[in-house]
């Protein structure tokens, strides 16, 4: 980047991109670019780097850091993203600097973006850490939660790790553990820089087994026919029954969708939540269309679930000789 890096004194406000600059991949480095763009748009951090305020806090004596090289390289990159005029740039110099102190990221293979961000924040933190010699601290143990304990544990943390990165990106988790046998409790206070948030899938795959002998074109001697649907998690049971009806050339009102588990068949009506993939889903053909809710089941010699005590639905199972 060198002399081409703009500064607050030299940049042209009429051509500056103000954070709308893209990052080109160097091989499979999209993981790195994702983390960079996320951190670039944290206002307190980008302002800290753009104004060169960070230079007052560089700890070049801290052996756990890079002597300021990583935070300086990241600041140059942020200036290119916010004060430069290019629509996209290649962060080659920054990547080479990071690779010097984090060898796992030297190549151009794919890596986890979260792991890269944790590593980068840790390197920047150590470059800015106000603590040069980290004291040994024997932490106390606690049996119950108390806010004063939380404050004390955070103060212990700051005796070893104290920088703007800790101020802006770190927090504290409190974990209570209780022994199921003796009832003894322990409370742990731990710092964190990142929390993982699991996101539910947008779509789910459901396989419904169509039993032989019920529907036109599927002989009684045939094996059950699985039909798989790729559904949105927001879809309804009513839509699933409609899709089944289209596949089986029947009206939706004659489709009885049930889950078979532990000897019980449970009717899945339109008010039920969309079944989970763990259920064994079966389809019966309704003879009369009186509503039903819960039915119990058995299996015949072929292992096909047959309705033994059929609520209000009348369902014919061609494999069962029971009075259903």
Q: What's the distance, CA 201 to chain centroid? A: 9
Average pLDDT, the chain: 84
Look at residue 88 and tell me whether its pLDDT is greater than 80. Answer: yes
- Tell me the pTM: 0.66
Average pLDDT over residues 80-87: 96
SS3 readout for 104-173: HHCCCCCCCHHHHHHHHHHHHHHHHCCCCCCCCCCCCCECCCCHHHHHHHHHHHHCCCCCHHHHHHCEEE
Domains of the chain with CATH codes: 2-128 (3.90.70.10), 131-198 (no CATH), 203-315 (3.10.20.90)
**pLDDT at residue 195 above 50?**
yes
Whether the per-residue pLDDT at 3 is higher than 70: the answer is no
pLDDT for residue 312 is more than 50: no
The pLDDT of 237-259, averaged and rounded, is: 86
CA proximity to 120, closest of 55, 34, 3, 57? 34
DSSP assignment of 242-280: HHHHHHHTS-GGGEEEEEEETTEEEE--TTSPPPPTTSE
C-alpha separations of 69 from 100, 127, 140 in Å: 10, 8, 36
User: Strand, helix or coil at 69?
Assistant: helix
**Is the backbone of residue 27 left (phi > 0), alpha (psi -120 to 50) or beta?**
left
Q: Rounded CA gap, 127 and 228, in Å?
A: 54
Quick one: pLDDT at residue 245? 87
Burial tier of 229 (Cβ tally within 10 Å: 0-12, 13-18, 19+): middle
Q: 128 near 163, Cβ under 8 Å?
A: yes
Q: For 82-86, 241-245, 293-297, which range has the lowest pLDDT when averaged over its residues? A: 293-297
Using DSSP's 3-state secondary structure scheme, residue 199 falls into: coil
Report the sign of the C-alpha dihedral through residues 276, 278, 282, 286, in that order.
negative
pLDDT at 221: 53
Q: Is the pLDDT of residue 322 over 90?
A: no
pLDDT of residue 298 exceeding 50: no
Task: Locate 195 and state its tokens.
Answer: 């929390």
Extract the tokens encoding 300: 């015949």
Q: How would residue 215 be classed by pLDDT, with cut points 50, 70 and 90?
A: low
**Spatial contact of 73 and 94, defined as CB atoms under 8 Å apart:** yes
Let me know the angle formed at the C-alpha of 116 by 110 and 117, rounded to the nearest 5 degrees: 140
Give long-range contacts, CB 8 A cutoff, 24+ apart: 299-303: none
Given a cut of 60, whether residue 140 has pLDDT beyond it is: yes
User: Measuring CA to CA, which residue among 310, 225, 311, 239 is closest to residue 275?
Assistant: 239
Distance, in Å, from the CA atom of 52 to the CA atom of 158, rounded to the nearest integer, reads 24
Distance, in Å, from the CA atom of 242 to the CA atom of 262, rounded to the nearest integer, reads 27
């Amino acid at each position: 980047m060198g002399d081409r890096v703009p500064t607050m004194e030299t940049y042209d406000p009429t051509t500056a991109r103000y954070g709308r600059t893209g990052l080109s991949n160097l091989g499979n480095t999209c993981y790195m670019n994702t983390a960079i763009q996320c951190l670039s748009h944290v206002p307190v951090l980008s302002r800290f780097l753009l104004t060169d305020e960070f230079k007052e806090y560089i700890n070049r004596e801290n052996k756990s850091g890079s002597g300021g090289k990583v935070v300086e390289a990241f600041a140059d990159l942020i200036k290119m993203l916010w004060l430069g005029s290019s629509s996209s740039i290649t962060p080659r110099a920054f990547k080479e600097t990071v690779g010097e102190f984090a060898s796992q990221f030297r190549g151009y293979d794919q890596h986890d973006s979260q792991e890269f961000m944790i590593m980068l924040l840790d390197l920047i933190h150590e470059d800015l850490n106000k603590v040069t010699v980290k004291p040994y601290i024997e932490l106390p143990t606690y049996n119950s939660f108390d806010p004063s304990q939380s404050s004390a544990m955070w103060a212990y943390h700051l005796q070893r790790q104290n920088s703007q990165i800790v101020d802006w990106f770190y927090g504290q988790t409190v974990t209570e553990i209780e022994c199921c046998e003796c009832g003894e409790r322990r409370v742990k206070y731990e710092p964190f820089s990142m929390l993982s948030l699991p996101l539910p899938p947008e779509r789910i795959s459901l396989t419904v087994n169509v039993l032989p002998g019920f529907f036109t074109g599927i002989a009684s001697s045939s094996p059950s026919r699985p039909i798989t649907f790729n559904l949105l998690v927001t879809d309804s049971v009513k839509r699933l029954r409609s899709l089944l009806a289209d596949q089986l050339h029947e009206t939706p009102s004659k489709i009885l969708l049930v889950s078979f588990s532990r000897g019980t068949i449970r009717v899945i009506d339109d008010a039920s939540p969309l079944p989970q993939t763990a259920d064994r889903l079966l389809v019966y053909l309704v003879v009369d269309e009186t509503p039903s809710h819960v039915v119990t089941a058995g299996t015949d010699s072929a292992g096909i679930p047959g309705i033994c005590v059929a609520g209000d639905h009348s369902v014919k199972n061609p494999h069962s000789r029971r009075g259903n």
